[in-house]
Amino acid sequence: MTMNIFVNRAKTSISEKITIELLLMNLRIEKKFIAVEVNQVIVPKSKYKNFHLKENDEVEIIKAIGGG
């Protein structure tokens, strides 16, 4: 079964109850030096493994880039 979530504002179809850990693996995003928000609440890295996403969750994956 699949569900829809929003990843960095883009609607994404993904397997139901996927964890943040697996989502990041699917997207090939390294855990180091990123932050993840679900519905505007930061999820600490230690919880990625057990945090299951739900239908319509808004996930933001954030990193540091060049800036002044």
Partner 1 sequence: MKDKPLVINDKIYSSRLIVGTGKYKSLKETKLAVEASAAEMVTVAIRRVNIGQDKNQENLLDYIDPKKYTILPNTAGCYSADDAIRVSNLASEILGGEKLVKLEVLGDKKMLYPNISETLKAAEQLVKQNFKVMVYTTDDPLVAKELELIGCISVMPLAAPIGSGLGVQNSYNITSIVENAKVPIIVDAGVGTASDATIAMELGCDGVLMNTAIACSRNPVLMASAMKKAIESGREAFLAGRIPKKKYASASSPVEGSVSFDKE
Chosen residue from 4, 16, 42, 49 binding partner 1 by CB under 8 A: 42
Distance separating alpha carbons of residues 11 and 46, to the nearest angstrom: 26
Name the segment binding partner 1 (CB under 8 A); options: 14-22, 40-48, 49-57.
Answer: 40-48
User: How many residues contact partner 1, by CB under 8 A?
Assistant: 26
Q: Cβ contacts of residue 68 below 8 Å, gap of 6+?
A: none
* 20 close to 43: Cβ distance less than 8 angstroms: yes
CB of 19 to partner 1, least distance (A): 17
Q: Cβ contacts of residue 48 below 8 Å, gap of 6+?
A: 19, 20, 21, 24, 31, 36
CB of 6 to partner 1, least distance (A): 11
What residue ranges bind partner 1 (CB under 8 A)?
A: 7-10, 27-30, 32-35, 37, 40, 42, 44-45, 60-68
